[in-house]
Structures are given as C-alpha cells and as structure tokens.
Amino acid sequence: MKTRKDPVEDQKALVAVQPGDLALQTAVALWTDATTASESARRSDIKRDKANAALSFFAFAGKSLAAVTATDVKGWQAEMEGKGLAAATIYARICHLSSFFRWVMKDPLLGQLVQSNPVGYAHPKAPKPYQTRSAKSLSKKQAAALLSVVETRADSGDLTGKRDYALLLLYIATGMRRSEVISLRGGDLRFEDDKIIIRGRVKGGDYEGRAVASRRVRAALLDYLRSSRRLHILREDQPLWTRHDRAGEPGAPLSSWSFVENLKRYAKEAGIGKIHLHQTRHTFARMVAERTGSLSETQDALGHRHAATTRVYVESIAEKKDKYSRYILEALELPEIEEIEPFSDLLQDDADEDP
C-alpha cells in the first residue's frame, strides 16, 4: 500500500535544487507574475529584471533556497560592488531578492521551510537619489551631441534611426516618463497644424492630455511613420513604436529595454559614456528650471504632485532675474560704477598674497 507523501516533502524538491534548475526558475517566474502589476506598460521588462536579480543571486550563492543566509546576501553585494555596479542598481537587485523571500514565506508550503528573510539582516541603506549633477542630467552640449548622432542615422534613411530620433526628441523635449512614451498607441495622438496633442496614461493611472508644440518633434514623428508605412495607426489602437529587425518591416512593439540598448551605443558615439533613459527627464527638468527660475513651474511641467520630488530633479533653480537694484540705487542718486574689476584678477591677487 502506497503511503501518501507529505506536501511539504514534495516542496523540498523545489527548495533543494541547484541554481539553474527548472524548479527554481518556476518559483521565480511565479513570484514575478504575482508581484508585478498587470496594468504596467513595462510589465515584461520589470518581470525580466526581477527574475534576473533573483536567479543571479542563486547562481552566486550556489545554495538551495532554504540554506541561504545573510552572509550570502552580503557576499553577493560585495561581488556586485567589485564589478563596479552603481549603488542604485545594487540596491534595486537586493530589494528584488528580498521581495522574492517575502513571497516564499507567505506560501503555505514553502513558508514552512523558510522561516525568516535573510535579506532583512543584510539589507543596505537606500542610496541618495542621483547624488551628482552629472548623474541627474545631460549638459546642453551632451544632449545636442546625442541628438546629432541619432539625427545623422535618421537622415541616412535608416528606419531604426528615424524611430529612435523621434523617440529621443520626444523624451527630451517633453520630459515624459519612460513608460509614458514607450507605451503610446497610434490613437493617443492627434496632429494639428502646429502641434501634436498626446493623450496618455501618466503615473498613478490617470489620463492626461499634453500639447507638444515643437515642429521638429512633429516632423520627426511623421517622417518615421511615413517611412515605415504606418501612418494608418494614427486612427487605430496599435503601438506607436515597433521593432524593425527584418528588412525594415514593422514587428513586435518596441520595449524600453531595446531602445535603451540603442541609446547606449548612440551615447558612446557622442562621447558621453554611461547613460540611463531617465536622464532625459532630468535634462528637461534642469532646462525648464533654468528658463523659468521657478520650482512650481518646473513641478507643473514634470507632473509631480509634490514639490519635494521636483527638488530631487533640480539641485538649484536658476537665479531670479534682477530687474530693480540698479534702478533703486540710481533713484537714490548712487550712480552705477562704470568699471568692474574682473573676478579672475581678484582670485589671482588672493593667491599671490598667500604665504
């Protein structure tokens, strides 16, 4: 007579597997599916990043799920730091791993084998967001060089170049979020003589209309759609951006990950080096702040609900223009001094006086 197996014993096969085995991959897949919002435009990208983080940890640790300790997590962190990964990237990966263990602990069967989250004892502090100005935004010179590289490829007739040029222009000129641009559908756009009206879902799930008055953005987008013979999608619910891998024919919807891979190559050619797509939003924020000198206007342009979020994007708002000081002093019969000693001369004088 066969004895019935304990369901917990059945699960031991799952947690005792070596990294790379199908059982562990299945558990990770179930976790990413259960913990990633179904309505997210970047759902496939997010699931891939989460799965890669968890599986890379188990490949490093070489242990079963139930045998993992906080020491393994710290060792993984040290290995990533040794590879030169950014603090924000390391933090995100460890957060994903922690989420996986929390999911496991809630499972009626697996939770009996994993009693505590090993990441909880080894979790690093969150890094300060975008700690340096260079990480926050591209300089005007860098942004212009990047656009020039992509425009040159577009002008050569390359369809991918035309698509990427329209995409990059839209990101930089509007400051729209990564998912807001990449998830656009043809029916979300309405072309008028001097502008484009974009209707799309913004962070928080709300829909918002946005006017884009740049003729260059309008022309680049129409050039891409004409060249790909896809002008008809402006009346349809089809992806605005697609892949063009086979003889230029439109294929699957373009993912932001694929565009970023191209962006990295363009940045290298432009002499920029490392780049992340969110820098386009930071670049937009900095230039709006310089133009307006107003935190509230910059906040409105970015669509932030809280000014504190905008301050993360803008280290310093441009100085308020001085319209009155000279007038006031002249009205008090204190005429302006005509000659000004160059500040560089003052610095040199100060250096010469040092003992």
- pLDDT computed for residue 8 by the predictor: 39
Q: Which of 245, 277, 309 is the last residue of a domain?
A: 277
What CA–CA distance (Å, rounded) separates 182 from 263? 14
Q: Which of 277, 308, 323 is the last residue of a domain?
A: 277
Confidence of residue 289 (pLDDT cuts 50, 70, 90): confident
Q: How far is CA 227 from CA 120, 167, 212, 222, 318, in A?
A: 53, 15, 22, 8, 41
What CA–CA distance (Å, rounded) separates 69 from 120? 10
| 115 & 141 share domain | no
For residue 113, being part of any structural domain is answered with: yes
Tokens, residue 249: 């024919």
For residue 182, being part of any structural domain is answered with: yes
User: Between these two residues, 254 and 86, which has the higher pLDDT value?
Assistant: 254
Lowest mean pLDDT among 8-17, 31-40, 255-264, 275-284: 8-17
| Cβ neighbours of residue 301 closer than 8 Å, sequence gap 6 or more | 175, 284, 285, 288
Q: For residue 255, give its domain range.
A: 135-277
Which regions of the chain does DSSP assign to beta strands (E)? 189-191, 196-201, 207-212
Q: What is the pLDDT of residues 61-110, one digit of tens each?
A: 888 888 889 999 999 999 999 988 878 788 889 989 999 999 988 888 77
Mean pLDDT of 138-159: 94
Instruction: Assign residue 84 the CATH number of its domain.
Output: 1.10.150
The predicted model scores a pTM of 0.58
